[in-house]
Amino acid sequence: MREIQFREAIAEAMSEEMRKDEDIILMGEEVAEYNGAYKASKGMLDEFSAKRVIDTPISELGFAGIAVGAAMNGLRPIVEFMTFNFSMVAIDQIISNAAKMRQMSGGQLSVPIVFRGPTASAGQLGATHSQAFESWYANCPGLKVVVPSNVYDAKGLLKSSILDDDPVLFMESEQMYGDKGHVPEEDYTLPIGVADIKRSGDHVTIVSFGKIIKIALEAAGEMANEGIEVEVIDLRTVRPIDYDTVIKSVKKTNRLICLEEAWPLGCVSTELTYMVQKRAFDYLDAPIIRLTTADTPAAYAPTLMEAFLPNKEQLIKSIREVLYQGKQ
């Protein structure tokens, strides 16, 4: 199987669907002439022309509104935000219009639109460019929220998002665009709302999503050297959440750690904790541990960013805690 970069998987997913359907368009800042801020739309202007690959002004509220209106009138826009931090400028169009239109029109209007771009931290970018909004958007009925952790998933999930008849937030990572992964030549999609077990185990369940899955897999690999088998579940989508896969795993391992690159209050991990204690409380042999970022804006200094983000050492400590409960 061939190996391609994350950014190439994104471009392939968009291009393949645009070849099939002329109603699909791409719009956003620098997506055309510059081939995308992260080169995730490289070559698409040459293939599809400026009519379908559209450079926009620096006006997220404006072009998000145009895209929502276009979707209501038969097109299927893909809107790229240079970062989801900038989607805050357009959030009224996403929350108040895209998410609500099917219900408010009595089912007469749908909004088949994808809002995509990078989320969360990406190094020394400061507090206003290092925020994770997955749980914010997942809180809103009418939206689907997809957060891939690898190249293969990114392509399959983006194609499904483009084909969906309702609005989808497709949230990537600037630090993953150069990642490489195996992707088949043939066409494929992955279902929205289905989690994936990235590593099987019997002793502890870790649930996560997005780029921080890498830390979960590293920690699981180290613990295996001690005979501790950690099951790592990648949610892949945080609305809808595949609760059944998580519950089934917890009933097997009897222990749960939720790992997330987001602030602790009201995050996806909080929702998972509630649902597991509701549906599998009697199976738990230890309290659930939630491992998130620090409850503060992200700093610029690299030492403070290191302290802000969850890390492998913290995760390994958490694994030992749910296993031994202070017995070591």
User: Is residue 315 classed as helix, strand or coil in its secondary structure?
Assistant: helix
In one-letter notation, the amino acid at residue 294 is: A
What is the arithmetic mean of pLDDT over 287-309? 96
Query: Whole-model pTM?
Result: 0.96
User: Which tens digits make up the pLDDT trace of 163-204?
Assistant: 999 999 999 999 999 999 999 999 999 999 999 999 999 999
β-sheet bridge partners, residue 196: 234
Helices then strands, counting H and E runs in the chain, come out as 12, 14
CATH 3.40.50.920 at 196-324, yes or no: yes
How far is C-alpha 305 from the chain's CA centre?
21
Per-residue pLDDT band at 325 (split at 50, 70, 90): confident
Which one of 17, 60, 174, 261 is the catalytic residue? 60
pLDDT of residue 326: 47
Is the CB of residue 120 less than 8 Å from the CB of residue 86? Answer: no
Q: How far is CA 63 from CA 222, 237, 238, in A?
A: 46, 25, 25
CA distances from 31 to 76, 124, 177 (A): 16, 24, 15
Over range 95-118, report the average pLDDT.
97
Instruction: Return the SS3 of 184.
Output: coil
- Show me where the domains of the chain are located: 3-182, 196-324
Active-site pick, 80, 129, 231, 271: 129
Q: By three-state DSSP, how is residue 191 classified?
A: coil
SS3 assignment, position 233: strand
- Tokens 């009519």 locate to 51
* pLDDT tens figures, 63-83: 999 999 999 999 999 999 999
203 is catalytic: no
Label residue 13 by pLDDT band (50, 70, 90).
very high
pLDDT of residue 90: 97
According to the model, what pLDDT value does residue 327 have? 54
Beta strands in the chain (DSSP E): 3-5, 24-28, 53-55, 76-80, 114-118, 144-146, 168-172, 180-182, 196-199, 204-208, 230-234, 237-239, 256-259, 289-291
What is the pLDDT at residue 48?
98
Please name the fold of domain 3-182.
Rossmann fold (3.40.50)
**In 175-325, alpha helices (H):** 213-224, 243-253, 268-280, 302-308, 312-324
